[in-house]
Structure 1
Amino acid sequence: MKIVIPVGSLETGGGCRVLADIANALVAKGYETEIVLPHWSPVAYPIDAKITRVPFLKKDNIPYGDIVLPNFYITFQPAFAAWPKQCIRLCQGFEPDWLTGENRTVALWTYQQRVPVISVSHWLDKRIQAHVGQRSTVVNLGIDPHVFNPGAGQEDIKSHHPKVILYIARDPKVGYALKGYDDFVKSMHLFKQSYEGDFIVHMICTERELPLPGIPHRTFQPTDDIEMVELYRAADVFVSTSWIEGFGLPPLEAMACGTPVVTTNSGGVMDFCRHLESAYVVPPKHPEAVATGIRSILSNPNLARRLVRGGEETASRLTKRSFAENIVVALEQIERDRHADSKE
């Protein structure tokens, strides 16, 4: 069986890493796997599969595969035009939730073509069902416990002074408003007014250094997972303010590293977040609740311990290995079902 994966980019980012992991898992299973991407596209991850560069992702540039696995509405269009019967759609985020106008219409159309869908969370499965009446095969993402773990000699409760608040800041001016950076800024000012201890924000800035006026902070641009793990382990709390997440790997990575999490109920994270058990969960677009969550964790060691234990136990179940095994099994089962249907 040959699998073709058309992608727009393999730049640094959670969704692109997932595509690289899928390709490598298929190669490890012995399947011929080919990634097709534009000439200009960066490749930020090790790839064991064949890489084919093309001028543009269009119908004539998509080679045959027994399975063609597009991941985004833009890559679905040429893949479906070329090989409609071979397409299986991978959904890491339901694009109609954030697109508008004609783009939203096109994105919704890609889910209306009745091709099999694999989604990465039960929340996404419900979104797809609500809009087009089709269920997907759910395969949760996972982390590598050999990389993301608390490390040796971690204290029961970290005794940093000042306390460290870790946040991944995505630039709302270049398309990442849904990550809720403005909400985080407001929450930190509210937190500063009500918290009597010393604290500092460690802010990971991906696109550019973003401002956090009036709040003590340092900015970081980690270049690999090892540097990310060091930041997770050094933090007393990790904060996510996203409005929508198809899954949400960073909160899970933080849990695996023994760091309590404050996160919005942004969708896919609820596959692994339970309020006051594995995370402190708050509504999206609610800076006051985010500030309260941070303050509760930093002021209550027993709560922090409970979330650390719950988070580590949760992360131990959702591993990169289990995702790799389950995604291959899902693709194999869909292909078997498709062949069975064609014989009827």
Structure 2
Amino acid sequence: MRITFVLPVFPRGPIGGFRVVYEYANRLTALGCEVTVVHERWKGDVREAMRDLWHGRSQPRLRSALSWFEIDPGVRLVIVPELEPHALPPADVTFATHWKTGRLLPHVQSRPFHLVQAYDTWDDIEEVHEVLKLDVPKVAVSTYVAGKLEDLGNQHVAVVPNGLDHDTFRPPAEDRPRGHSVSLLVSKHPAKGFATGVAALSEVRRTIPDLTVNAFGVGPRPDDLPEWMTYHHGLSGEKLVDQVYHRSAVHLCSSASEGWGFPVAEAMACGTAVVSTRNGGVEDFCSHNENALLADSTGLAEAVTRMLEDEALRTRCVQAAYLTASRMDWSASARSLISFIRAFHSTAS
């Protein structure tokens, strides 16, 4: 089976939604599929557009540019000038991976599907809804996202949760005391709750003066990130695990909305206790007072303080969270995805 995934751009750093697509590309290739991942050339910046043009001239260059993720040699990567139906390769199945790429689906020649990784209320909500209401089979990464799709009238929705790379995201061989330390994803996307997280940890610091924060993100350090917080730029894989998760007793997720929640799952797999908002996606695998503490935005500081100071609670949550994370399996997710594809592709043939 020939499968094409359509991404809006070629990524400049490790981004969860892109990683999902590349993971599926690798796993579906291992299952015998011919997979192509199409990206649109960068817009609005001549230098970045020329960079895409240069890298897009050969597979080795594209793989080199995607240094944070190892792509199976059997996967074909493509950068096209415009995301138009005629620019897509011949395929049996075409997957949109974002609402903006979903606009292509009524016009593709192959069987259309939509991998929905988030409910993007931060964009033009009317246009988002128009795309999400298209009568194409949809794969949601969580029950939260699936519920939103069903509320919009979609009938053919499957929940296929993301997996984890357990060779990378794992507890340390020898865990050392992590002290009063917290990790925090830094992103200015409105869904990620940057200001909420900073405010919560600033409040925690008034109670726990020796608090250390291992903040991390894709972009440069924000000017309004407090100076007392350490910032790690562009880390992925083993470096992210070693420099952030393994050095943090608690991971704080302050998001207003999550489609799934990679940093939370990664932290759980690495032996880091989790405190999170009730943001949708993480609630598929985070249970309050069992493997995590969940709170609204005003209760995060209290929850982080409790998790840091109550060693018995933290140990119990870490152990339960690791068992939860250990069941996150990319190969199983890929098999579920291909089963969903085959069910609809066979009816269209």
TM-score tier by shorter-chain length is 0.7 to 0.9
Q: Quick check: 1:185–1:212 contact (8 Å CA) kept in 2? A: no
CA distance in 1 between partners of 2:140 and 2:7 (Å): 17
Give 1:322's aligned amino acid. Answer: A
1:88 pairs, out of 113, 134, 143, with: 113
Listed as ranges, the gaps of 5+ residues in structure 2 are 43-51, 53-61
Give 2:268's aligned amino acid. Answer: M
Cα deviation code 1:299-335 (max 9, x no counterpart): 1001101110111010011123322332223322332
- What is the aligned partner in structure 1 of residue 71 from structure 2? 47
Q: Quick check: 1:238–1:259 contact (8 Å CA) kept in 2? A: yes
Provide the secondary structure at the position in 1 that maps to 2:161: coil
Q: Quick check: 2:215–2:231 contact (8 Å CA) kept in 1? A: yes
Q: Quick check: 1:37–1:53 contact (8 Å CA) kept in 2? A: yes
Residue 201 of structure 1 pairs with residue 208 of structure 2: no
- What is the aligned partner in structure 1 of residue 55 from structure 2? none
Q: Which region of structure 1 is more displaced relative to structure 2, 261-270 or 314-323? A: 314-323
CA distance in 2 between partners of 1:75 and 1:166 (Å): 32
Any residues of structure 2 matched to 1:1-344 within 5 Å, and which? 1-11=1-11, 12-40=14-42, 44=66, 45-48=69-72, 49-83=75-109, 86-95=111-120, 97-100=121-124, 104-155=125-176, 158-160=177-179, 163-170=180-187, 172=188, 176-195=189-208, 197-211=209-223, 216-230=228-242, 231-283=244-296, 286=297, 288-339=298-349
Provide the secondary structure at the position in 2 that maps to 1:125: helix
Give 1:122's aligned amino acid. Answer: T
After superposition, the CA RMSD in angstroms is 1.9
Report the alpha carbon displacement of residue 215 of structure 1 after superposing the two structures with TM.
6.4
Q: Which region of structure 1 is more displaced relative to structure 2, 238-247 or 109-118? A: 109-118
Provide the secondary structure at the position in 1 that maps to 2:200: helix
CA distance in 1 between partners of 2:84 and 2:316 (Å): 51
Give 2:323's aligned amino acid. Answer: E
- What is the aligned partner in structure 2 of residue 342 from structure 1? none
- What is the aligned partner in structure 1 of residue 45 from structure 2? none
> Identical aligned pairs, as a percentage?
25
Cα deviation code 1:221-261 (max 9, x no counterpart): 24331011111011011111011111001101000000100
CA distance in 2 between partners of 1:133 and 1:67 (Å): 19
Is the alpha carbon distance of 1:55 and 1:234 closer, same or farther for their aligned partners in structure 2, counting shifts above 3 Å? same
Give 1:304's aligned amino acid. Answer: R
Give 1:2's aligned amino acid. Answer: R
Q: Quick check: 1:62–1:79 contact (8 Å CA) kept in 2? A: no
Cα deviation code 1:118-162 (max 9, x no counterpart): 11001111011112243411100011111111121225xx353xx
Provide the secondary structure at the position in 2 that maps to 1:69: strand
Count of aligned residue pairs for this structure pair = 322
Is the alpha carbon distance of 1:181 and 1:332 closer, same or farther for their aligned partners in structure 2, counting shifts above 3 Å? same
